[in-house]
Structure 1
Amino acid sequence: MRKRQQPHVEGAAEPPGGPRSSTCCLCWCGCCKCPWNEDRVERTERQTCTKMDSIEAAEDRRATLEEVLSWSRSFERMMRSAEGRDVFREFLRSEYSEENLLFWLACEELKSEMDPGAVDEKARIIYEDYVSILSPKEVSLDSRVREGINQSLAEPSSHMYAEAQLQIYTLMHRDSFPRFLNSAAYGDLVNSKRSTCLDT
């Protein structure tokens, strides 16, 4: 015997296991202040944005206080912000590790290059600037990744530094980023955004 379907009532809570609406039970308006909504945005971001995403689409506008505060929960979000990268670069410079971010940015630029001649040239410059043991800006790569790069130099490609880029990204995320969040550079930026909010 078929079960009779219950009529759908607008605004009624979904049954356990059923599809979830875009809002939580405490915030039917779906505003961005809702904690559940923030969690949903974070999950969506992790699913659609990888560590190696291109930053070409990053907006050059100044970040809001809310955005700057959100960086403490998402390294990826900070790296997609032009202002975030700028202040993080200043912090890395104070720790004498600015070359890590510069290498990551150079790899992003190489990945977007389509012209074979330009790929060859940029790949060589990246090697000389950040991979060669003779460079004062050499980044820290393990021997396996370094060997892979050396083999790729015979036929450079726009993604030949992908593994090395991920390794440096992970290093910045795990090592430098926690210190950045506790630094005066980040604290001063948050305070300046708060002051701007109070003035407006």
Structure 2
Amino acid sequence: MREHLTGLTAQNMAFTDCVKPTDQPAEKKGMKRKNWRNRIGFLLKTNSPQSIMHPKRHRSQVPSGDEVNQWAQSLDKLLSHKYGKAAFRIFLKTEFCEENIEFWTACEDFKALKLQKDMTSKANKIYEEFVKNEAPKEINLDFHTKNAISQCLHEPSESSFLVAQRKIYCLMENNSYPRFIHSDLYKELCAASKGEGKYIQS
């Protein structure tokens, strides 16, 4: 669902926020839970078909209990871990706001670029996909932030998306992240990391 912010028109308001679990019918919740269980099972299998049946033998391919517990310490801890970020993206997808982490990740990739031509190409791609009005994966940004980004597309710098990335990070940190940590998905991940998850045996 799209949240309505007081004093803003529908065209200029915050475009995409997460759908709250309470807003969804029980039937969809059940389908959603089945979907993320399948995705987590695939995530934990990685590239080895043996890692689920013999988790101790393939420990390096599955996040440990300590690692999964650390994800609850901060969003930064979660996003800095390969499997943590993947699990969070699965959760955001169930809440229909995976564009937030996709944008954040795209910004991280952008900051790693060195050549100006690569930065220009990537900046325009990010703008077209996430920032401009009615973009395919439009994120929750105010007019001034969007405008500042559009003004520097011809010659972007490492800091071109910094403000926007921080805003989306805060949005995830204050809304989606707490729900993720208290979700059944995260609880099952904790159990799976200790070899206790039921779906691991399937």
Does TM-score exceed 0.5, indicating one fold? yes
| One-letter identity of the residue aligned with 2:179 | R
Q: Are 1:63 and 1:81, in contact at CA under 8 Å, matched by a contact in 2?
A: no
| One-letter identity of the residue aligned with 1:133 | N
1:69 — aligned with what?
Answer: 69
Q: Which runs of 5+ in 2 are unaligned?
A: 1-59, 198-202
- Please give the residue correspondences for 1:55-66 in structure 2 after superposition, counting only pairs within 5 Å: 62-66=62-66
| One-letter identity of the residue aligned with 1:174 | N
1:99 — aligned with what?
Answer: 99
Q: Are 2:107 and 2:161, in contact at CA under 8 Å, matched by a contact in 1?
A: yes
Give 1:159 deviation, angstroms.
Answer: 2.3
Off by >2 Å, runs of 4+ in structure 1: 60-63
RMSD, matched Cα: 1.7
Distance between the aligned counterparts of 1:163 and 1:140, measured in 2? 12
- Please give the residue correspondences for 1:145-156 in structure 2 after superposition, counting only pairs within 5 Å: 145-156=145-156
Distance between the aligned counterparts of 2:121 and 2:70, measured in 1? 37
Q: Are 2:131 and 2:146, in contact at CA under 8 Å, matched by a contact in 1?
A: yes
Q: Are 1:141 and 1:167, in contact at CA under 8 Å, matched by a contact in 2?
A: yes
Give 1:61 deviation, angstroms.
Answer: 5.3
Aligned to 1:73, the other structure's residue is in SS state coil
Report % sequence identity. Answer: 36
Give 1:136 deviation, angstroms.
Answer: 2.4
- Please give the residue correspondences for 1:39-54 in structure 2 after superposition, counting only pairs within 5 Å: none
Give 1:134 deviation, angstroms.
Answer: 2.5
Matched pairs, number: 138
| One-letter identity of the residue aligned with 1:166 | R
Higher Cα Rg: structure 1 or 2?
1
1:87 — aligned with what?
Answer: 87
Deviation per residue, 1:25-80 (Å, 9 max, x gap):
xxxxxxxxxxxxxxxxxxxxxxxxxxxxxxxxxxx954210121121122111110
